[in-house]
A and B are shown apart, each in its own frame.
Chain A
Amino acid sequence: MAADPETTRLDDDILAFIREGGSGPSDESRFNALALRLFAYQFGRNPAYRSFCVARNVTPEQVTRWHQVPAVPTMAFKELPVACFPVQQAAVVYLSSGTTGSKPSAHYLPSLDLYNASLKTHFSRCVLPDRERMPMIVLALPPRVLPHSSLSHMLEVVRTEMGTPDSDYFMDEGGIDLPRLVSALRDAEKAGRPLCLLGTAFAFVHFLDHCRDQGLRFVLPPGSRIMDTGGYKGKSREVPKAELHGLYQTTLGIPPDYLINEYGMTEMGSQFYDNSLVDTGKGRPRFKLAPPWARTLVVDPERLEPVPRGQAGLLRHYDLANRGSAMVVQTDDMGVEIEEGFEILGRASGAEARGCSIASDELLSRAG
């Protein structure tokens, strides 16, 4: 569908900001100006969000700083369409995988322009800061299998636009193609050709378990790297981060700076990555780096107000790439501010009853 002039101008300006912002320091006043424009836009185009803001006495006339913009909770994406346009006209809808029986989150996108620009720019900065393309091995399901997975889409874009032509999936509905993966890694070892491995943490854990059982070890060429993402959702044993990093190092020969964890969510158009490769050799702590067109606040769960720096709380993201849905998303992820980013401490979702009673989240996961 052809967008109206206001939408086109806004998209163009956000796109320009995204494309310029790949490596430079973030421009606070430009971010703020775009955030206020986007708030006014979403306030004007989503009547439910407008009433929600008015009930909080927050309107575009009063707001002067991005962090004053009211947040939409992630749960809302499960319960109602969060969109500034008729969702029948969505170019794509991303659905969360969720737990069995629970409603998925739905994120309707009017087009993929902002989404793709955001993912490519920030991926390139955080995962490929030192090269244009490299051979990629994807340990996740392709969009053909998971057409509504934002992660599958993201990895497909990365593979086709930043991978060498031989970049490929090593996983399908039947699981990981272990023999083929092992031989691809051996080939890279022999050829001295660095690889980029991308996929879900549970797929990596599955592969690492296989290597342990078979006594397999690799020393992948320098420059090889891993981008992993996501929780495990009961699909494999959970491995603490330190142990997983140790295994990546001993089993695949990839040093810690080349291990980059991605944090993304269905409800957001942008992703966050570890600063490890961007800051390689600088001896800085590991944290999640936001793209210049996004901000994160840590808020306390009881009052939803920002906590003092260094204190744990719930993550709230402000993302200009969410033009069609909601710029501000209140998550139930716990985190803490570190340097100019944050680290994730885990999920705060799912209130669990302490005893014989039952909380809504438990029933949802059981109803299936």
Chain B
Amino acid sequence: MEVQPYALPGVKVEEFVDLEYGPSEERAILRLPVVTPAVLAAATESVTQARDGYLATIPVSQIVEVIAIAVERWQDPGYHLRVVVHELLPAITGYSTQMLQEGLPELLKPFGKDGLLALLESELRDPERLDSAAGGHRPGKLSGPRLVTHVLAGNIPAVAAESIVRALLVKSASLVKMASGDPLFPALFAQSLAEVDSKLGESIAVVWWKGGEQDLEKTAFSASDVVIAYGGDSSIQSIREAVPNGVRLIAYGHRISFGAIGREALRRSGLAALAARAAWDVGFFDQQGCVAPHAFYVERDGQATPAEFAEALAREMQRLEEKLPRGRLSAAEASSIQQSRATWELRQAAGDGVHLLLQSHASTAWTVVCEDTVPFQATGLNRVIRVVPIDDLSTLPSAVEGMRRFLQTAGLAVSRKRLGPLSRALAEVGVTRVCPIGRMQHPPAAWPHDGRPNLVDLLT
């Protein structure tokens, strides 16, 4: 199988390095180009020229078509690049084969034609304002950057696609810096676009280097108009320091999400279905994304109790595990789950606010704990979820407010009447997205990512 885990249109590379992934029984080796400042300078020059000569001259509707065709191909299990993903990505990312098989098309679905048009129209009203002849200064003309550098985090494959798509829609060339955690999918996504339109593909370069290499960052960032960075606080901080004045930095740092269920939604008849949707939100891509919930606040005095919801959730977590197994963990990740579990058990035994601890048998695959820790806390990830009983959802905003700086999505199951006031109150404490439970993992292309527009912020 010929795999090219990079895209360097118009650049000749001579030196390669092998990265090895996975345990011995499923080892994957990726041969990646050794990126030097000279290689990067050539790459940024090449993609920028391809952008000026082609991408910037075609109508945005044509770009939408190209992306939509590529995204459609990714929906086909027999698509040759998906075969590569199934072959190599489990070893590289640790995600289970089943999770990637079922999850990857789901992650890409929002970037079909309808989703892209909705994104363009919601932010730009009249997207054709991007199309007036180059150099013209018609009033209302919108123009994007020449080059966006994307610094990826590697946790969720689709983040790469989302980021590249946004740059394409504003007709910007892209330099994509893949993370060590996944130096494959972003390159394959770029390849899928190039397969639909090779000239458009020439405006996207995808490479990997070890984060923090200052010479490379300096070369990349100073050639860019915009840098989009994903990652934890410390990596964002170091990128912030490396981005020169005059280059815009759009940083997506740590975020955390939660769900809340009103007593009116806790009907016995619908409990299993509700729990299945909640389990999907937790389990999809092993809780690694910022849209994944770390807790469900469950109101007391419904037909089903919070503990009954926790039990139903545990059953669905087990069912999900059988269908889409949790991925392989590092020792640190598994240890963190073991430490938490045994500590919850001791607290439960000591009568210290832990009502119920439910967990997968002889593995760390999933953990559900029902406990009275009202102030919102993060769990250790990888399908560990808290169910927190709460007397009334009116106190929810104050329960999560301590995490204001990190809050992102709230998945809600409440009556229509309560939805508006509760959403507004949550927005006041920093929540930037509200959606139904079961949809937390599937924001539309047009969602304001962390509360900001996606295209407008790229315009120059």
Contacts and interface: CB of A to CB of B under 8 A. Distances in A.
Is B one of A's binding partners? Answer: yes
Contact of A73 (B289, B343, B350, B380): B343
25 contacts: A52-B345, A55-B349, A71-B342, A72-B346, A75-B340, A79-B347, A301-B331, A301-B364, A302-B329, A332-B332, A348-B335, A349-B336, A351-B332, A351-B380, A354-B154, A354-B155, A355-B231, A356-B153, A357-B254, A358-B255, A358-B256, A360-B336, A360-B377, A361-B336, A362-B233
A332 B254 contact: no
B255 A356 contact: yes
A348 B331 contact: yes
A72 B342 contact: yes
Given A48-B349, A72-B346, A356 B292 contact: no
B406 interface: yes
Contacts of A351: 332-333, 335-337, 380-382
A354 B181 contact: yes
Given A355-B156, A357-B255, 18 more contacts: A73-B343, A75-B339, A76-B342, A301-B335, A301-B364, A302-B363, A314-B338, A332-B332, A355-B181, A356-B156, A356-B252, A357-B256, A358-B232, A358-B378, A359-B378, A360-B340, A362-B232, A366-B233
B106 interface: no
Contacts of B256: 357-358, 363
Contacts of B403: 363
Contacts of A330: 338-339, 342
Interface string A67-104: 00001111110111010000000000000000000000
A76 B339 CA distance: 8
Contact of A303 (B181, B289, B363): B363
Interface residues of A, number: 45
Interface residues of B, number: 54
Contacts of A347: 332
Contacts of B292: 357
Interface of B: 153-156, 159, 179, 181, 230-233, 252-256, 287-290, 292, 329-340, 342-343, 345-352, 362-364, 377-382, 403, 406
Contact of B153 (A82, A301, A302, A355): A355
A352 B232 contact: yes
Contacts of B362: 303
A353 B155 contact: yes
A359 B254 CA distance: 9
A302 B377 contact: no
Nearest to B380: A351
Nearest to A54: B349
A311 to B, nearest CB: 11
B370 to A, nearest CB: 16
A49 B346 contact: yes
A353 B345 contact: no
Nearest to B384: A360
A308 interface: no
A79 B342 CA distance: 11
A334 interface: yes
A349 B331 contact: no
Nearest to B403: A363
B290 A75 contact: no
Contacts of A361: 336, 380
Interface in A328-368: 330, 332, 334, 347-363, 366
A321 to B, nearest CB: 21
A356 B250 CA distance: 13
A314 B337 CA distance: 13
A314 B331 contact: yes
A237 to B, nearest CB: 16
Contact of A80 (B289, B334, B352): B352
B290 A356 contact: yes
A332 to B, nearest CB: 4
Which of A74, A80, A348 is most buried by chain B, counting CB atoms within 10 A of its CB?
A348
Given A358-B254, A360-B378, A312 B342 contact: no
A304 interface: yes
A361 to B, nearest CB: 7
Contact of A48 (B252, B346, B406): B346
A363 B379 CA distance: 10
A362 B254 contact: yes
A352 B406 CA distance: 16
Which 6 A-B residue pairs are closest in the complex by CB-CB distance? A355-B155, A355-B153, A51-B349, A301-B334, A48-B350, A351-B336
Most-contacted residue by chain A among B153, B154, B364, B378 (CB, 10 A): B378
A47 interface: yes
A105 B329 CA distance: 26
Contacts of A71: 342
B262 to A, nearest CB: 26
Q: Which of B230, B287, B331, B377 is packed against the most chain A CB atoms within 10 Å?
A: B331
B254 A356 contact: yes
A18 to B, nearest CB: 27
A57 B153 CA distance: 43
Given A52-B346, A302-B364, A357-B255, A73 B287 contact: no
A356 B155 contact: yes
B156 to A, nearest CB: 6
Q: Which among B154, B179, B231, B332 has the highest number of chain A CB atoms within 10 Å?
A: B332
A78 B350 CA distance: 14
Contacts of A76: 342-343, 346-347
- The residue in A72, A73, A303, A312 that gathers the most chain B C-beta atoms within 10 A of its C-beta is A73
Nearest to B93: A354
Interface in A141-177: none
A81 to B, nearest CB: 8
B347 A353 contact: no
Nearest to A313: B331
Contacts of B349: 47-52, 55
A11 to B, nearest CB: 24
A361 B342 CA distance: 16
B336 to A, nearest CB: 4
Contacts of B333: 351
A55 B342 CA distance: 11
A359 B380 contact: yes
A78 B340 CA distance: 11
A357 B338 contact: no
B340 to A, nearest CB: 7
B56 to A, nearest CB: 30
Contacts of B335: 301, 314, 332, 348-349, 351
Contact of A349 (B332, B342, B345): B332
Nearest to B153: A355
B339 A357 contact: no
Contact of A350 (B159, B336, B342): B336
Contacts of A348: 330-332, 335-336
Interface in A203-230: none
A73 B232 CA distance: 27
Contacts of A75: 339-340, 342-343
